[in-house]
Chain A
Amino acid sequence: MRLYLAVFALLVAVHCEELFNGDQVLRVLPESEDHIQALKELEEDVDSGLDFWTHGFSTERPVDIRVPQDSLYAFKDFLMENNIPFTVMINNVQELLEKERAEMVNNEGMERKTKSFNFAAYHNLETIYAFMDTLVASHPNLISKVNIGSSYENRPMYALKFSTGGVSRPAIWVDAGIHAREWVTQASAVWFANKIASDYGVDPSVTSLLGQMDIYLMIVTNPDGYAFTHTNNRMWRKTRSVNVGSSCRGADPNRNWDAGFGGPGASKDPCSDSYHGPYANSEVEVKNVVDLIKGHGNFKSFISIHSYSQLLMYPYGYTCTDVPDKSELHAVGTAAIKELTSLYNTRYQVGSICKIIYPASGGSIDWTYNIGIKYSFAFELRDTGFYGFLLPANQIIPTAEETWLGLKYIMGYVRDHPY
């Protein structure tokens, strides 16, 4: 990183092209006082043409030196004659400068594209996928696109991974659009992706969170269903899998998880919008997420976004018995909702799925809670029924903005309460 900064500084300082063609940067490793003395003398000799990038010599640290092309042979001879070890760090400084410049121009272009993206509109799958690519391209050190598997109709399922490094850091999962017709959720998730990217390095809470944890954001968890709501039936909810022996397609992906599967609130009729599927994880969309979560093994929070009803819920759905962590989850939910409401006065209720909406078995956050992901929550976004699934696009951004405050609160709490 420092190296690239130095190269960039060179570019800025000189403002001209082709000045460093053939120059190399050598990393010299002094091993004795004699070596150190020789380097000191060289540094003091202004006619040597050598550009020392490291100052202060010791046998503990390497010394980086940019060597002009003309001086290369002479200097390398000198090093070899004195048995001073070295390696070539940059083979051709000019080449590297040009590559860097091209990348910067490209990144700026991508930034403009994401800045000009219309967040106050509903977009089709292709457009959302293209947005993901431009976001990743303009934040290559923060965001990567993870292909978690294919949908029933062979569409790729992508999660955006926000990470500042580490190996398998504790992580937070957020998914939207598991139910296809809940369009404000995919639209809000697009906004969240952009928000996290632009808040990193600016907002202290987001920055500290990403310093310790990763965020996985799945914008379209049911791509087949989403595509179908654009082409055929705006009210489609389920996946698009073929049901053996039935003309009706799809299972409810939020009745298909392995938590009380087949219990109350789920139908065994393939034509039903709450059909649980032939068996738990039968839906490949669900299986892909399950595999990722299990394979990763270090998720600390799982948040699923739905609409409509303006609710924030915690487990269980498959039974009305309280979870052991009920008090804590209820307190976190209540505080999160307070943040959410503070923006536009949108009223939310908090409670367990079973008590607040209905008994519903086979739900995602019940499964995640049962495998030990304590901070499992489900949102139901705007509104309370007036527009319902058909929320006007001019409400996307306000919905995303207020929901983000609630999400941010939960994520901050998860960060501050490791387990």
Chain B
Amino acid sequence: MATGDLVPTHFPARRAAQVALHHLNTRHGSPFRVFGLQQVHKATAEDVGTGGRKYSLDFSVTDYGSSGSVLRCSADVLFPRTEKHSPPEVQLHCEGLQQISSSPEEEAFYQKHISPDSAVSAHDIPDSYGNISQDMKPFWHLARVAASFIMLRESSENTEYNMAQVANVSQQETSEKQLMLKYHVLLHDFVSQEIIHWKLLSSWSPDGGVRVLETEWQPKCPHATKPPSAN
């Protein structure tokens, strides 16, 4: 494992940056804001006393949600080296993040779907041909944000997670002032090339952000008994 300066385009730096990105999305993602990695500028890595490995990163991200704006970020990502998998720890700072607050689009979207008549239900987002209707895009973004909780938790130096598709989404009734959404998402781990299915229950409101309340791994093969990260 390389220590010290890392080549920014090589995979160790990129994987760590993706982890930082998952963290960023869990904290700041919304139906109209979801970040993707644009470029890693600088990266270093070192072993830390407790047996883990810490990456320090300087990278840029793009907001795919609506604005397309590019933010410059720096992050420390610690991958613990424990016998049983434990999630990486991320400290992150991005320029201009504080200024981002709830937008009119988010408010409108919230009002539209918090009404008792709203009962959204859809599947295959995008479909096989990459199509997503405009109506479904915010739900797609929300899925990506919610999936980021799982991806962050499951990540290690030997994974590189992305959300491949939303198998289905259905809105749940609730007395809370939150959008409650049940999702079945397909994650893609670039390293193993596996498609991993997860079901999750998430909530969102403009003030509360995205929270994930329940997650459940869906086995692919009949004989498999535990999620990949537990191996």
Tell me the complex Cα distance, A94–B37, Å.
68
Q: Does B195 contact A273, Cβ atoms closer than 8 Å?
A: yes
In the complex, are the beta carbons of A235 and B192 less than 8 A apart? no
* Pair B165/A235 contact, Cβ less than 8 Å: yes
For B212-231 the 0/1 string (1 means CB < 8 A from A) is: 00000000111110000000
Closest chain B residue, CB of each to CB of A348: B9
Q: What's the least CB distance linking A226 to chain B, in Å?
A: 12
Q: Smallest CB-CB separation from A271: which chain B residue?
A: B221
- What are the residues of chain B within 8 A of A398 when measuring CB–CB? none
Which of B25-33, B73-81, B106-114, B123-131 lines the interface with chain A? B123-131
Residues of B in contact, count (CB < 8 Å)? 32
**Of B84-92, B171-179, B183-191, B200-208, which binds chain A?**
B183-191
CB within 8 Å for A355 and B10 given contacts A273-B195, A386-B36: yes
CB under 8 Å from chain B, chain A span 264-279: 265, 267, 271-274
Contacts of B223 in A (CB 8 A): 247, 271
A309 touching B192, Cβ below 8 Å? no
By the criterion CB–CB under 8 Å, are A393 and B9 in contact? no
Q: Which residues of A contact B222 (CB under 8 A)?
A: 247
Is B71 part of the binding interface, using a Cβ–Cβ cutoff of 8 Å? no
* B168 on the A face (CB < 8 A): no
- In the complex, which of the residues A272, A385, A389, A395 has the most CB atoms of chain B within 10 Å of its own CB atom? A385
Cβ of A390 and Cβ of B9 under 8 Å apart? no
Is B195 a contact of A349 with CB atoms below 8 Å?
no
Report Cα–Cα, A36/B165, bound state, in Å: 81
Q: Contact between A356 and B190 (Cβ–Cβ < 8 Å)?
A: no
Contact of B9 among A229, A349, A385, A387 (CB under 8 A): A349
Q: Are B39's CB and A347's CB within 8 A?
A: yes
Contacting A385 at CB < 8 Å: which of B126, B132, B162, B224? B162
Q: How many residues of A contact B (CB 8 A)?
A: 36
Residue B194 is within 8 A (CB to CB) of chain A in the complex? yes
C-alpha spacing A237/B194, complex, angstroms:
9
Give A348-366 as 1s and 0s: 1 = Cβ < 8 Å from B's Cβ atoms: 0111000111100000000
- Verify A351–B128 contact, CB threshold 8 A: no
Q: For window 152-171 of chain A, which residues contact chain B by CB distance below 8 Å?
A: none
Given the interface pairs A351-B10, A358-B191, the reply to whether A235 lies near B220 with Cβ below 8 Å is: no
Q: Does A228 contact B (CB under 8 A)?
A: no
Q: Pick the contact of A390 from B36, B39, B128 — CB < 8 Å?
A: B128
The answer to whether A235 and B10 have CB atoms under 8 Å apart is: no
Known contacts A384-B36, A390-B126, A392-B130; decide if A267 and B192 are in contact (CB<8 Å): yes
CB of A392 within 8 A of CB of B131, answer: yes
B150 to nearest A CB, angstroms? Answer: 16
A388–B188 Cα gap in the complex (Å)? 9
Contact of B164 among A122, A235, A358 (CB under 8 A): A235
A381-419 at interface with B (beta carbon < 8 Å): 384-393, 395
Across-interface contacts of A122 in B (CB, < 8 A): 128-129
User: With A and B bound together, what is the CA distance between A248 and B127 in angstroms?
Assistant: 25
Mark each residue of chain A from 247 to 284: 1 if its CB lies under 8 Å from any CB of chain B, else 0. 11000100000000000010100011110000000000
Do A392 and B126 touch across chains, with their CB atoms under 8 A apart?
A: yes
Taken together as a complex, chains A and B put the C-alpha atoms of A267 and B195 apart, in Å, by 15
| Contact A385–B36 (Cβ < 8 Å) | yes
Check B193 against A252 for contact (C-beta < 8 Å).
Answer: yes
> In the assembly, what is the distance between CA of A237 and CA of B189, in Å?
13
Q: Are A390 and B195 in contact (CB under 8 A)?
A: no
In angstroms, Cα B128 to Cα A230, docked, is: 8
Give the interface of B toward A (CB within 8 A).
7, 9-11, 36-39, 64, 126-132, 162, 164-165, 186, 188, 190-195, 220-224
The 5 listed contacts between A and B (C-beta, < 8 Å) are: A235-B186, A237-B193, A272-B194, A391-B130, A393-B131
Known pairs A234-B165, A235-B195, A385-B36 / 19 extra A-B pairs, C-beta < 8 Å: A121-B129, A122-B129, A235-B164, A247-B221, A248-B221, A271-B220, A271-B223, A271-B224, A272-B192, A272-B194, A347-B38, A358-B190, A384-B37, A386-B64, A388-B162, A388-B164, A390-B130, A390-B164, A392-B132
Instruction: Return the 7 tightest CB-CB contacts between A and B, nearest first.
Output: A392-B130, A273-B193, A385-B162, A271-B221, A349-B9, A390-B126, A234-B128
